[in-house]
């Protein structure tokens, strides 16, 4: 429980820093869901009891007094430290001992108290709540009014929390790396094996790099063209970039990656990486569909103003169901819709519609994009992967680095690259020392073997 509590604190601080749109929002259940029905039934029963008590002769104020106490506590919690005068006014007007005495003698004036409460709420609320406060002022039913007061007070509490988050963000951004690293170190002391899966993750990246051409070439005249030693700073940078890239590339196909995210250094960014990976998949399909359609139907359709954007919007809309819907089914729908849209554009431009053979070719090529070994899809994915890899280097997030074939998705891909690069940059700042330490240990056997060969 203690560890879970610490992780929760880290997660909230991390979310505030990396997500500039982060804010608390009211939980709204679906209208006909079980949760919604249960909530509405319980609330109705709660307020029906209050109505029944107030309708008695003489009225029973026991329930109302408890609600007034809660309202008083909420109003006091919304005050800033310097608002001493208003605090005294609330304490004096909502003096619970006096209210209980008035209730006992049948002299409790609920309309007067609610009028004061609404006036205080109007002083404390954000401008966005002014209209709701005004609507409350005209309510005559005391039970309905109290219920609405609680609803608006909950919104005001959320406004206050979000204001606090906004105020804290600059301070957290300044100290977030130090804070997260310190908290993670504390967690490692409680969980000694906390980096086991991360080590395997880095070992996988090192193994892939050693059998690829990703390592930079030596620039010296004696070894020109050969790869630099894997233990060099330049090689370690490649290791680092490739490791993070694997995280995005293999998120849905590699269970070990999920283990790393669930337990260790990428815990707090799992949802963001999931969303980015899904976005990358969708962009790859959009670019592939547009490239195939352009080569099959001719560039005239796509060069006409607005047609490319129109077709892209159609594809985006049909891809909204992924990954819940099979890609084969989605591409079948896309091929049929693209056929109709292209014919519509051709007619608008004064050209004949696609011939039967060309229409069949277009549909066949589009549906074949579902195959993992499809040449067009592989090419598009390689282009995107190369660009995203560059985004992990300083200055890599640039439209100039995009191939012409990715021009239709340039705007979206630049945004993905910026989000991915920013996310990984923060993670490297926090956990870089841990990764470096693990990589040194992974490369140690190689250095020993090199020393042994020299001695022989």
State the pLDDT at residue 159.
Answer: 92
State the pLDDT at residue 334.
Answer: 93
- pLDDT, mean of residues 338-350: 89
Q: Say whether 191 sits in a helix, a strand or coil.
A: coil
Q: Say whether 230 sits in a helix, a strand or coil.
A: coil
- Give the C-alpha separation, 72 to 117, whole Å: 8
| Bond prior to 201 in cis (omega within 30° of 0) | no
Give 4's pLDDT tier (boundaries 50, 70, 90). low
* Percent of residues, the chain, with pLDDT higher than 90: 35
- pLDDT, mean of residues 306-325: 83
- pLDDT, mean of residues 254-267: 48
Give 245's pLDDT tier (boundaries 50, 70, 90). low
Above 80 in pLDDT, residue 371? Answer: yes
Q: What is the pTM of this model?
A: 0.63
State the pLDDT at residue 23.
Answer: 82
Above 90 in pLDDT, residue 192? Answer: no
- pLDDT, mean of residues 298-315: 82
- Give the C-alpha separation, 64 to 66, whole Å: 5
Tokens matching residue 170 = 């600059």
State the pLDDT at residue 189.
Answer: 78
Beta bridge partners of 227: 217
DSSP state of 198: H
- Give the C-alpha separation, 162 to 145, whole Å: 26
State the pLDDT at residue 183.
Answer: 78
State the pLDDT at residue 292.
Answer: 92
Between 286 and 245, the more confident residue is 286
Residue-averaged pLDDT of the chain: 81
Give 1's pLDDT tier (boundaries 50, 70, 90). low
State the pLDDT at residue 216.
Answer: 53
| Domain map (residue ranges) of the chain | 2-174, 193-216+226-456
In Å, how far from its chain's centre is CA 80? 31
State the pLDDT at residue 250.
Answer: 54
Q: What would the pLDDT profile of 15-63 be if each residue is shown by its tens digit? A: 787 777 888 787 778 888 888 889 889 999 999 999 999 999 889 999 9
State the pLDDT at residue 258.
Answer: 40
Give 378's pLDDT tier (boundaries 50, 70, 90). very high
Above 70 in pLDDT, residue 223? Answer: no
Above 50 in pLDDT, residue 366? Answer: yes
- Give the C-alpha separation, 88 to 79, whole Å: 11
Between 14 and 447, the more confident residue is 14
């Amino acid at each position: 429980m203690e560890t879970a509590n610490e992780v929760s604190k880290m997660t909230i601080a991390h979310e505030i820093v990396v997500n500039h749109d982060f804010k608390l929002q009211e939980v709204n259940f679906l209208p006909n869901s079980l949760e919604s029905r249960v909530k509405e039934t319980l609330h109705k029963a709660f307020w029906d009891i209050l109505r029944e008590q107030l309708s008695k002769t003489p009225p029973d104020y026991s329930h109302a007094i408890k609600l007034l106490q809660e309202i008083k506590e909420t109003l006091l919690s919304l005050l800033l430290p310097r608002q001493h005068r208003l605090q005294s006014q609330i304490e004096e007007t909502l003096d619970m001992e006096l209210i209980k005495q008035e209730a006992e003698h049948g002299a409790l004036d609920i309309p007067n108290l609610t009028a004061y409460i609404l006036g205080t709420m109007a002083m404390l609320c954000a401008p966005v709540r002014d209209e709701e406060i005004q609507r409350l002022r005209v309510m005559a039913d005391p039970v309905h009014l109290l219920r609405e007061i609680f609803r608006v007070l909950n919104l005001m509490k959320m406004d206050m929390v979000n204001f606090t988050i906004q105020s804290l963000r600059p301070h957290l951004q300044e100290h977030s790396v130090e804070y997260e690293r310190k908290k993670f170190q504390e967690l490692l002391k409680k969980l000694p094996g906390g980096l086991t899966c991360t080590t395997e993750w880095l070992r996988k990246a090192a193994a892939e790099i050693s059998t690829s051409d990703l390592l930079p070439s030596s620039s010296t005249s004696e070894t020109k063209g050969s790869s630099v030693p894997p233990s060099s700073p330049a090689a370690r940078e490649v290791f680092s970039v490739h490791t993070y890239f694997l995280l995005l590339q293999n998120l849905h196909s590699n269970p070990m990656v999920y283990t790393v995210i669930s337990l260790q250094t990428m815990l707090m960014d799992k949802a963001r990486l999931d969303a980015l990976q899904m976005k990358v998949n969708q962009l790859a399909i959009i670019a592939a569909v547009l490239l195939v359609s352009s080569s099959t139907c001719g560039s005239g359709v796509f060069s006409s103003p607005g047609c490319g954007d129109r077709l892209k919007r159609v594809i985006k809309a049909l891809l909204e169901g992924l990954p819940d819907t099979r890609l084969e089914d989605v591409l079948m729908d896309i091929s049929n819709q693209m056929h109709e849209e292209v014919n519509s554009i051709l007619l608008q431009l004064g050209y004949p519609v696609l011939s039967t053979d060309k229409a069949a070719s277009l549909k066949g090529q589009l549906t074949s994009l579902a195959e993992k070994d499809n040449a067009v899809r592989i090419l598009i994915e390689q282009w995107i992967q190369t660009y995203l890899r560059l985004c992990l280097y300083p200055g890599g997030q640039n439209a100039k680095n995009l191939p012409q074939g990715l021009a239709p998705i340039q705007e979206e891909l630049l945004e993905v690259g910026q989000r991915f690069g920013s996310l990984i940059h923060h993670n490297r700042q926090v956990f870089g020392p841990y990764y470096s330490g693990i990589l040194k240990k992974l490369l140690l056997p190689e250095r020993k073997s090199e020393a042994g060969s020299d001695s022989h």
